[in-house]
């Protein structure tokens, strides 16, 4: 098969979705040396995958990072490029597919549906009606939708009852090779440097409204006051929008 992959949603500071996209592509390169892949990235990301993928992967830089440029690429240049390259499948790993599909089969990844259920936890773009309509249109028009959990699958089916359950496939996320136990002395060195007391409960993620951290902190406060739990709460993550 000939598979086109749209990687233009990548941001300069990777989020969870970005890490999914990057790791998926790198691991596809490890396991598949048969199918042909055309990977479309922003010009700013031209060094990201260079010399990291096998010969059946080719990199093309037809977009720039500004939002208007990515939209232009996604809706006009990507369908044309897939057509001229004679792609069998177009994979869009970040919510949206082109309006014009051509003859290709389209696969889209929907990571969550919280901009419908909790719009107040998202930036204005993600809670806007045009974006939400575009996501729903992508779900309807894609030949297959993949999601990371049954919760996201259920959220789609509850919001869009006209969608068949067979249309939404659950494929859990993988675990990177870097996540493994380290020698105790190495762990203790880091804990000492950061001043983290033991035992502790660790949260890892961007500090932003969508992560529901006020509820986490309030729950922890109740555990301490009502049950005298010995664990400390440690938050680790970059500062996101409205982190105050």
What's the confidence (pLDDT) of residue 120? 85
Please list, in sequence order, all residues whose beta carbon lies within 8 angstroms of the beta carbon of residue 234, skipping any fewer than 6 positions away: 196, 200, 201, 202, 203
The Cα angle at residue 63 between residues 6 and 100, in degrees rounded to 5: 55
DSSP H or E run through 122: none
Please list, in sequence order, all residues whose beta carbon lies within 8 angstroms of the beta carbon of residue 175, skipping any fewer than 6 positions away: none
Buried b (16+ CB within 10 A) or exposed e, 205-242: ebbbbbbebeeeeeebeeeeeeeeeeeebeeeeeebee
What tokens does 230 get?
């010995």
pTM: 0.86
Cβ neighbour number for residue 137 with a 10 Å cutoff: 13
What's the confidence (pLDDT) of residue 242? 85
Distance of CA 57 to the CA centre of its chain: 21
Q: Spell out, as residue ranges, where the chain has pLDDT lower than 50.
A: none
What's the confidence (pLDDT) of residue 133? 96
Q: Could you give the CA distance from residue 33 to residue 182 in angstroms, rounded to a whole number?
A: 32
Q: Could you give the CA distance from residue 132 to residue 95 in angstroms, rounded to a whole number?
A: 10
């Amino acid at each position: 098969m000939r598979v086109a992959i749209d990687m233009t949603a990548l941001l300069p500071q990777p989020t969870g979705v970005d890490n999914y996209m990057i790791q998926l592509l790198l691991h596809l390169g490890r396991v598949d040396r048969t199918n042909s892949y055309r990977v479309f990235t922003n010009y700013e990301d031209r060094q990201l995958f260079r010399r990291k993928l096998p010969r059946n992967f080719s990199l093309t830089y037809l977009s720039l990072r500004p939002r208007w440029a990515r939209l232009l690429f996604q809706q006009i240049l990507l369908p044309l490029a897939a057509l001229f390259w004679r792609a069998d499948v177009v994979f869009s790993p970040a919510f949206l597919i082109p309006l014009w599909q051509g003859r290709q089969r389209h696969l889209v990844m929907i990571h969550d549906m919280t901009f419908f259920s909790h719009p107040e936890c998202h930036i204005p773009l993600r809670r806007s009606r045009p974006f939400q309509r575009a996501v729903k249109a992508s779900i309807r028009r894609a030949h297959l939708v993949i999601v990371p959990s049954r919760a996201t699958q259920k959220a789609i089916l509850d919001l869009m009852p006209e969608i068949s359950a067979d249309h939404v496939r659950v494929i859990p996320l993988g675990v990177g090779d870097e996540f493994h136990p380290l020698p105790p002395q190495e762990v203790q060195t880091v804990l000492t440097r950061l001043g983290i007391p033991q035992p502790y409960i660790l949260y890892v993620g961007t500090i932003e409204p969508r992560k529901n951290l006020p509820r986490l902190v309030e729950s922890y406060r109740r555990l301490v006051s009502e049950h005298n739990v010995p664990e400390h709460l440690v938050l680790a993550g970059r500062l996101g929008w409205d982190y105050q």
